[in-house]
Amino acid sequence: MVNQQVANIFYKIADLLEIKGENPFRVRAYRNAARTIESLGRDLSEMIEQGKDLTSLPGIGKDLSEKIREIIETGTLSKLEELESEIPRGLIELLKVEGLGPKRIKTLYDKLGITNIDELRKAASQGKIRSLPGFGKKLEETILKGVVLAKKEGRRFKWSYANSFGEELISFLKKGPSVKRAEIAGSYRRKKETVGDLDILVTAEDPEAMIDYFVTFPGIKKVISKGQTRSTIILESDIQVDLRAVDEECYGSALHYFTGSKAHNIAIRAIAQKKGLKINEYGIFKGDERISGKDEKDVFNAVDLPFIPPELRENRGEIEAAREGRLPELVTINDIRGDLHCHTKWSDGKHSVEEMVAFSRELGYEYVAITDHSKRLAMIKGLDEERLLLQAQEIDEIQKKFKDIHILKGIEVDILEDGSLDLSNEALKMLDFVVAAVHSKFKLSKKKQTKRIIKAMENPHVNTIAHPTGRLIGSREAYEIDMEEILRCARDTGCFLELNAQPDRLDLNDINLKLAKDMGVRVTMGTDAHNRDNLLYMRFGVNQARRGWLEKKDIVNCLGIKELLKVLKK
């Protein structure tokens, strides 16, 4: 939890500095440090207690190291307070709107006095924005759509963000007085991409003492309510947490009820009613008598169904599949044999090839694909044909040091507007794994965008299409494509589609993953890692894969290295 708090403060400072028009190198330093901290596999507070040198972390110099210590020791940072006093609070919210960066936000503030999303929507609706330098009618329309998206997201948080606090809460509660069981329910348990709040269920011998303990959790901004069996708090991270103490005898029913989804629960209750039963959060009843409900399996047993994993409970066919014995054996993190998308210092990564390979080996992987960006992305040192050859030679030397993990030579090659690729076929031919991706021209028509991607898929050297819809959760909607046509092309050409495990992307989404499975198209999984700790993002991809009904057979990364090489050769 501490790591996420520090990262949040650094992100906010970077945004505020950028809105002020400060030195871009300072802005980048804070943002890079935040990314490092956010994906760090170690707890910063423990590192400080152990006397570790924080400047050994990528992008953390002496100044930022001291700021981290200040945050951990005081819970805040004087630099942030100073910046917040200088800039209207609502300007930060404008960064969530597609089409707006800090420079444009500064223009909107300076020229039109806009300080929040509502003022932005009003100005855009009245056509006041299009006349500003650097804007125009098309951008004004994009901003209006972006305002709707930002407001639709409301108070929802990415699952990965909520997870950093959720795990800490459960760990804290299990150390509390008389607590027997504690689990987070709701959309969090179903592994949805975003969650509104955290619903925690506990059983305890002394619920009141447990509630007294709960409200001592570090990092609470406000205690909303505190009763004998229920309490609601708001964390410093602005996440609301609702805690309920339930009887041991109905814990399973309550867990099922509060896990949801609502549509799934209604369908289960309808089946129960036909059997003369009533199912709710208090148990399973026949008449007025509670006959079971201690374990969650009791709910499914009562309606003659096998246990349905939480990730599938959306009333999208899981009940019918359960009844007919067709429930998938969902993939787990232990099924993943390697990572097929990561970056190094050769482009915009923070670690060397050797460092990325070494950490992949620590994770128990059989293989890892090095897929740095191609030359079109010159700002981040994208590779041209000459540098790609030099990197391949380096990989050959590193491979000699690592006998127990296979390094795949790869590239993330740009798909240009006409569907051609950023590197020659001669260059791509020498690689083991080619990831093709759209990084520009997101606003093409549905027909043109689809045609563009299909042309790339038809290139015999392309193995997979990275983050196929281009969406960024909560900040950029997917570009328009005909997904069924894309999937048909994937099936016909043998090209895969990627499930990008980066928590801001999770692209493909669960609906498209299920569609891919139904159409017989396998997916690759990649963390899109830009430093070693980003390789741990794979678990977020697994969450998404499970929501998409995927099994080992549906995911290329579940193959061993020999089988993988055979598939790639084909």
Give pLDDT tens digits for 495-511: 999 999 999 999 999 99
Block residue for tokens 């009613």 = 273
Summarize the confidence of residues 550-569 as an average pLDDT: 96
Supply the CATH number for residue 17's domain.
Answer: 1.10.150.110
Supply the CATH number for residue 554's domain.
Answer: 3.20.20.140
Is 506:473 a contact under the CB 8 Å cutoff? yes
User: 347 and 240 in one domain?
Assistant: no
Final residue before a domain boundary, out of 323, 347, 364: 323
- Residue 302 inside a domain? The answer is yes
User: 167 and 75 in one domain?
Assistant: no
Final residue before a domain boundary, out of 323, 348, 369: 323
- Residue 125 inside a domain? The answer is yes
Supply the CATH number for residue 308's domain.
Answer: 3.30.210.10
- Residue 45 inside a domain? The answer is yes
- Residue 475 inside a domain? The answer is yes
pLDDT at 149: 66
**355 contact partners, CB below 8 Å, separation of at least 6:** 344, 532
User: 134 and 76 in one domain?
Assistant: yes
pLDDT at 1: 56
- Residue 223 inside a domain? The answer is yes
User: 163 and 147 in one domain?
Assistant: no
The mean-pLDDT minimum among 26-35, 38-47, 274-283, 370-379 falls in: 38-47
User: 344 and 209 in one domain?
Assistant: no
pLDDT at 102: 79
User: 473 and 380 in one domain?
Assistant: yes
- Residue 413 inside a domain? The answer is yes
**Other C-beta atoms within 10 Å of 400: how many?**
7
pLDDT digits over 120-172, tens only? Answer: 988 888 889 988 888 888 888 888 877 876 665 556 889 998 998 898 899 99
Closest CA to 494 of 524, 474, 470, 515: 524
Supply the CATH number for residue 175's domain.
Answer: 3.30.460.10
- Residue 67 inside a domain? The answer is yes
| Token reading at 63 | 């100044």
User: 445 and 432 in one domain?
Assistant: yes
User: 341 and 307 in one domain?
Assistant: no
Relative to beta strand 289-292, strand 338-342 is unpaired
Q: Distance between CA atoms of 94 and 91, rounded to whole angstroms? A: 5
Amino acid at 567: V
Torsion of CA 39, 43, 48, 51, to 10 degrees: -100
Closest CA to 255 of 182, 344, 196, 177: 182
Total-model pTM: 0.82
Q: What percent of the chain has pLDDT over 70?
A: 98
Sorting pLDDT into bands at 50, 70 and 90, what band is 59?
confident
Final residue before a domain boundary, out of 117, 136, 153: 153
User: 180 and 265 in one domain?
Assistant: no
User: 558 and 485 in one domain?
Assistant: yes
Please indicate whether residue 43 or residue 481 has the higher confidence score (pLDDT). Answer: 481
| Token reading at 379 | 């700002």
Summarize the confidence of residues 307-333 as an average pLDDT: 97
Is 315:263 a contact under the CB 8 Å cutoff? yes
Is 147:153 a contact under the CB 8 Å cutoff? no
User: 289 and 186 in one domain?
Assistant: no
pLDDT at 152: 54
Summarize the confidence of residues 78-88 as an average pLDDT: 87
pLDDT at 5: 82
- At residue 201, does pLDDT exceed 80? yes
Summarize the confidence of residues 273-286 as an average pLDDT: 94
Q: By residue range, what is the domain housing residue 347?
A: 333-569
User: 401 and 375 in one domain?
Assistant: yes
- Residue 328 inside a domain? The answer is no
User: What mean pLDDT is reported for the chain?
Assistant: 91
Residue 354 buriedness (CB in 10 A; 0-12 / 13-18 / 19+): middle
Sorting pLDDT into bands at 50, 70 and 90, what band is 86?
confident
pLDDT at 489: 97
- What is the number of structural domains in the chain? 4
pLDDT digits over 418-460, tens only? Answer: 999 999 999 999 999 999 999 999 989 999 999 999 999 999 9
Is 120:36 a contact under the CB 8 Å cutoff? no
pLDDT digits over 342-384, tens only? Answer: 999 999 998 999 999 999 999 999 999 999 999 987 677 899 9
- At residue 191, does pLDDT exceed 70? yes
pLDDT digits over 3-37, tens only? Answer: 888 888 898 898 888 888 888 888 888 988 888 88
